[in-house]
Structure 1
Amino acid sequence: MAETNHSERRLFLGCFIALVATAFGFAVRGAVLSDWALQFGLSEEQKGILNGVGLAPFAISIILLSLVIDRIGYGWIMAVAFTGHFASSLLTIFAPNYQTLYIATFIFGLANGAVEAVINPVVATIYRNNKTHWLNVLHAGWPGGLVLGGLLSIAVFFGGTQLGDKLPGHLWQWQMGLLLPPIIAYGLLLLGQSFPQQERVEAGVSYRSMLEEFGWASAYIVSFLILMGISQFVSIFAEPGSAPLLTPKAGLVWAIAPAVLFGVFIHSFGRPMFVFLLVVMMLLATTELGTDGWIQDIMGSTLRDPVKGTMFLVYTSAIMFVLRFFAGPIVHRISPLGLLAVCAALATVGLYWLGHAGEAVFMLILAATVYAFGKTFFWPTTLGVVSEQYPKGGALLLNAISGVGMIFAGTIGSPAIGTVQDRNLAAAVEQALPETYPELATTTKGQFFDFQTIDKAKIAALPEATRTQVEGIQRETKQLALADIAVLPAIMCVCYLGLIMYFKSRGGYKAQVLAGHSADDGKFTGGVAGAMEA
C-alpha cells in the first residue's frame, strides 16, 4: 500500500463518502419510484427516464470538467458538487410535478459528475502504486451507499406507515430527506483540504498530449451521447406525443461535426483500445446501472412487495461492498481483464436466471447472488485498466470512460429497459387476451420509436378476473426483461476475451509508466515498464 499521511487519508475518506452520497440518491430514488408513478401518473418509459436522468448529466459534467479540472482546481469542483447536491435534494423534496423531478434529478446528476471528476484522478494519484485495487476500494462506496440508503429508506417507510396521517407531506419526501446527511458529511470532510497534483501534470505531460490520447474517435462517441442527453432534456418539456428532438440515427449524423472539428485541431484518432473500451462501457453501464435502476421496481412487482424489491438491491449491493475490498489479490492472480471476463460470464448467468426464476424467493436469491458477484468489479476495474494503460490521458480518459457509461445508461440503456417492458406487456396481453387488448392498447411516442403499449389507468377498470390476469402478465413480462439484458454481459465477455488474447500476443498485460520526466518512474505504477517506453 502506498504511504499516505493524515491529510491524504482524510481526503480519501471524503472522496469515499462523496461517492456514498451519489449512491444514496440512486437508491432512494429507486425506492420511491413507484410512489412517484402513482402521484404523477408516470408510464414505464417515464420511470425509466427518471431512473436514467441522474446518469446522463453526470457524463456531461464529468467529461467537460475533466478538460479544465487541472486548471480550475479539484477543491473548487468539489464545492460546485456540494452546492448542486444540496440544492437538488431540496428541489426534489418539494417537487410539484414530473418536470420538476426531472430538473432536480438532472442537477443531482451534474453534481455526481463533478464528484467523480475529482475522486477518480485523486485516488489514482494518491495510490499510484496500486491503482486498480484502491479504485475498487473507493468504489465500494457506491454499493455501500446503496445498502445504507436502501435500508434507511425502508426504515423511514415503515416508520412513516406507522405514523400514517400524523406525518406531514408525502412519505417519499421524508425518504428523499435521507440524501442530506452524507452530502453534509463529505462537505465538512473536504472543507479546506489540499488536493494533490494529478499524475499527468506532475509528470510534465502536455495538455495537447492528453487530447491526442483521447482523439477524434472518442470525441465522436462522446458528442453523440451528449446530443442524445440534450434531446432527452428537451423532450421532457415538449408537448405530449411530440417527436423527440433527435433520434439515435440523427444523433449519429450530427455528432460528426464536433468530431471533425476536434480532429482538425488534434490530428489524432485516439488510442484504438480506449475507443473499444468506450463501446464496451456502454454495455457495462446498462448491465450494472441500468439493471440496478430497475431491480427494485421489477423485483417489487414480481414479489408483490416494494420493500422486498428494495431488499434485492440492498442484498446485491452488500455483496459488492464486501468484495471490492479484495480486488487487489484477485487482480494479481488473473489480471484486470481476466477479472472482467469472469465477471461478465457470471453476470450473464445471473441475469438470465433472475429473468426465469419465477416467484420462488430462494431461487431469486441464488440468481441475485450470481449476478452480484458478476457486476461487483465491472466499473472500478475498467477505471483501473484505463488508468494503468493510458496515464498520459490524465483525468480526461479516466473520467471519459465513466462519463460514457453513465450517459449511455441514462439516455439509452435505462429508458430502453422500460421500453422493452412496455412492448413485451402489450405483446403478451394481445396474445393472451385478444378481445380485451383493443380497449387497453394505446400508441406511445417513445424516445426511440412509436410502439403499442398498455394504458395502465385502464387496467383498474377491468373486471376483477381480467384485471388479475393482466397484472400477472405484467409481473411476468417485467421479470423477463432481466433475461433480455443478459445478452449484454455475454457480448462483453467475448470482448474481454479478445483483449486478453491481444495482450497475450504482446507479452501479457502490463501497467504503463510515464516516461520523460525527472521523477522516479517506479512511483507511478509500481515500476512495471510498458510499451510507451519503447
Structure 2
Amino acid sequence: MTANQNSAGQKPDMKLFWACFIALVATSFVFAVRANTLGQIQGDLGLSEAQKGNISGAGMWPFALSIIFFSLVVDRIGYKLVALFAITCHTISLLLTLRANSYESLYWATLLIAVANGTVEAFVNPVVATMFHREKAKWLNILHAGWPAGMALGALATVMFQSQTWQFKYGMCFVPLVIYALLIIPRVFPLNERVAAGVSYLDMLREVGAVGFFILTALTVPAVSQMMNQEASWGLVFGIAGVVAVVVGFLTKSLGNWLFIFVLITIGPLATTELGTDGWMPELLKLSGPAGMSGEQLVSFATWVFIYTSVVMTVLRFYAGPIVHKFSPIGLLVVGTVVAILGLLFLSKATGYVIIAAATVYAFGKAFLWSTTLGLVSEQFPKGGALTLNGVSAVGVLFLGVLGSPLIGYQQDVILDKQLAKEQPALYEKIVGEPKGSIFGEAPSLNQDKVAVLGAEDQAVLTDAQATSKRGMFTAIAILPAFMLICYLVMFFYFKSRGGYKPVAIHE
C-alpha cells in the first residue's frame, strides 16, 4: 500500500481534500472580513466599545464549543451530516449578518457564524487525517495552509473594496462558501480511521481521560459564563471540572494518555503566541510604523504586512512535506519554536520598515506550530479519533480567550505603568487611574478622561511610551514559546529514547 492509499487500499479523494481546504479558507475569510470591518460596523450601528468586544467574543467562544460538541458525536453521525450542517449555518448566518441593523441582531448572526466555523474545523481535521493516515502531519499542514490563505484573501478583499459598505464586504464571504458547498455536497466521506479499526468509543475517551476532561471543562465553564455575561468564580469552575473528571475517570478508568496531556499543556501558550500576538500586531504597526505615515496610511500599512505574513505562512505550509520528513513533527516543533522566540524578540526592538523583517522571522517560526501539533496528535493518538485531534484545537482557542488574551492585556498595562512611573513621573501622576480587577489580580490603568485633555506635547510623549511598551510586550510574551520549547525538548528526548519519532499504529 502506498502512502497515498487509505486503509481500504483506495486512493484518497483529492476533490474531497480540496473541499475541506476551501471550507477552511471560508472560515478564516470570514474572520478576516469581520476584523477589518468591525470599526465600520461600529460607526454604522452605533456600537459601544463593550458591545464591539462582545461581538468579537461571540465570534470565538462558539467556535471552540462547537468543535468540542461535534468531536464527541461526529464519528457516530458521520462527516457528511456535520459538513452539511456547517454549510447551512454559514449560509443562514451570513444572510442574517447582511440584514443586521442593531447590536442584538449582529451579535446572534456572529454567534452562528462562529458555530459554523467550529463545525468546519470539527470535520476537516479528522477527514484529512483518515484520508492520509500514513502522512498525517504532511497533509494536515497542507490543509491548514487554508487558514492563512483565507485570512490573506479576506484582508485583501476588504482593502480592494475599502470604499464599499460593510454589507458588501461580508457579501464576499459567499464566494468561498458557495465553492466549498458545491464541492462538499456530491462527495462520499470516508469512515473514520478509529471506527474502521473497531476501536470503541470508550477507548477514544480513555485517550483524553479524567485529566484531559478536567482541562477541557475548566476552560469551557468560564467561556460559557462570559457568553452569558456572567462571571464564574474559580471555585465553581474547578468544582464543575472536578465532577466531570471524576465521572469520566469512573467510566473510563483512565487519567488520560500522559503524552496527550503534555500536548494539551502546550497548546494554550501556542495559541497565545500565534493568534494572540497577531491581534496586537496592528497596534504595534500603528504606533511604531514607518516615519511620515499617519492615520489611514498606517492602517493600510498594517493590513499589507498582515497579508504578506499570511502569504508566507501559506507557502510554507504547502511545502511542509519535505520539511516534516527532514525534522519529524517533534523536531519541527522544536525548530519552529526557537525561530518564533527570535521573531518575538526581533519584534520587540523593531520600528519602521524593519518591522517587516521582524514579522517575516516571526511568520517563519509560527508557520508550522499549530498544524504540526495537529499532525503529531493524529499520529500519536489514533485511538482518540476526532476527540483528541479536535480537542487540542478547542483547548487552544479556549485558553486564548480565557487566559491568553487577558494575559497579553495585563502585561501591556503593567509594562506601560512601570515605564511611565520610571521615565515620565510627572506625566504619570497626571493620568494614573484606579487599578482595575483582572483574572491575574489588580491591573494598573490610565484615567482616559485625563488622557483626553492632555496637551499635544504630553500626548506625543504618551504615544511614544505606548509604542515602547507594546514592543516590550513581545519580550514578555516570548516566555510562552520558551515554556513550549522546554516541553517539546522533553518530548523530543522521550521519542529519541524510544528509537526516534514514529507514528503509532492504531492497534498498538
So what's the TM-score if we normalise by structure 2? 0.89
Kindly state the Cα deviation for residue 351 of structure 1 after the two structures are TM-superposed: 1.1
Q: Give 1:117's aligned residue.
A: 122
Kindly state the Cα deviation for residue 100 of structure 1 after the two structures are TM-superposed: 5.5
> What are the equivalent positions in structure 2 for 1:518-529 lying under 5 Å apart?
none
Distance 1:415 1:57, change over 3 A: farther
* 2-structure distance, mates of 1:449, 1:91: 39
**1:493 maps to amino acid:** L
Q: Give 2:31's aligned residue.
A: 26
> What are the equivalent positions in structure 2 for 1:135-154 lying under 5 Å apart?
135-154=140-159
* 2-structure distance, mates of 1:280, 1:387: 16
Answering whether residue 314 of structure 2 is matched by residue 328 of structure 1, we say no
Answering whether residue 374 of structure 2 is matched by residue 369 of structure 1, we say no
Q: Give 1:314's aligned residue.
A: 307
Q: Give 1:230's aligned residue.
A: 224
**1:284 maps to amino acid:** L
* 1-structure distance, mates of 2:179, 2:504: 36
Q: How many residues align?
A: 493
SS at match of 2:29: helix
Distance 1:313 1:100, change over 3 A: farther
Kindly state the Cα deviation for residue 247 of structure 1 after the two structures are TM-superposed: 4.3
The farther-off stretch of 189-198 and 477-486 is 477-486
User: Is this contact kept in 1: 2:430–2:450, CA < 8 A?
Assistant: no
* 1-structure distance, mates of 2:335, 2:193: 30
Query: 1:320-340 CA distances to partner (integer Å, 9 max, x unpaired)?
Result: 100112211112112110000
Distance 1:189 1:468, change over 3 A: same
* 1-structure distance, mates of 2:154, 2:115: 20
Q: Give 1:84's aligned residue.
A: 89
User: Is this contact kept in 1: 2:12–2:131, CA < 8 A?
Assistant: no
> What are the equivalent positions in structure 2 for 1:32-431 lying under 5 Å apart?
32-35=37-40, 40-42=47-49, 51=56, 53-93=58-98, 95=100, 102-157=107-162, 160=163, 171-235=165-229, 245-248=231-234, 250-303=236-289, 304=294, 305-357=298-350, 359-361=351-353, 363-431=354-422
SS at match of 1:255: helix
* 2-structure distance, mates of 1:436, 1:197: 63
Query: 1:258-315 CA distances to partner (integer Å, 9 max, x unpaired)?
Result: 1111111111111000011001011111111112233234323432411211222211
| Identity percentage of aligned residues | 43
**2:404 maps to amino acid:** G
Unaligned runs of 5+ in 2: none
So what's the TM-score if we normalise by structure 1? 0.85
* 2-structure distance, mates of 1:354, 1:35: 29
User: Is this contact kept in 1: 2:433–2:446, CA < 8 A?
Assistant: yes
Distance 1:346 1:80, change over 3 A: same
User: Is this contact kept in 1: 2:25–2:146, CA < 8 A?
Assistant: yes
User: Is this contact kept in 2: 1:284–1:405, CA < 8 A?
Assistant: yes
Q: Give 1:2's aligned residue.
A: 4
SS at match of 1:283: helix
Kindly state the Cα deviation for residue 91 of structure 1 after the two structures are TM-superposed: 4.2
Q: 1:451 aligns with which of 414, 427, 443?
A: 443
**2:312 maps to amino acid:** I
**2:215 maps to amino acid:** I
Kindly state the Cα deviation for residue 140 of structure 1 after the two structures are TM-superposed: 0.5
* 2-structure distance, mates of 1:289, 1:64: 22
The farther-off stretch of 79-88 and 395-404 is 79-88
Distance 1:248 1:17, change over 3 A: farther
* 2-structure distance, mates of 1:101, 1:355: 36
Kindly state the Cα deviation for residue 437 of structure 1 after the two structures are TM-superposed: 4.4
Unaligned runs of 5+ in 1: 161-166, 236-243, 516-531
Q: Give 1:492's aligned residue.
A: 484
User: Is this contact kept in 2: 1:229–1:407, CA < 8 A?
Assistant: yes
Ranked by relative contact order (alpha carbons within 8 Å, sequence separation 6 or more), the top structure is 1
SS at match of 1:193: coil
* 1-structure distance, mates of 2:406, 2:91: 26
* 1-structure distance, mates of 2:239, 2:360: 41
Q: Give 1:476's aligned residue.
A: 468
Kindly state the Cα deviation for residue 246 of structure 1 after the two structures are TM-superposed: 1.8
The farther-off stretch of 26-35 and 465-474 is 26-35
SS at match of 1:453: coil
* 2-structure distance, mates of 1:6, 1:300: 49
**2:375 maps to amino acid:** G
* 1-structure distance, mates of 2:168, 2:93: 15
Distance 1:346 1:93, change over 3 A: farther
Kindly state the Cα deviation for residue 206 of structure 1 after the two structures are TM-superposed: 1.1
Distance 1:462 1:479, change over 3 A: same
The farther-off stretch of 190-199 and 406-415 is 406-415
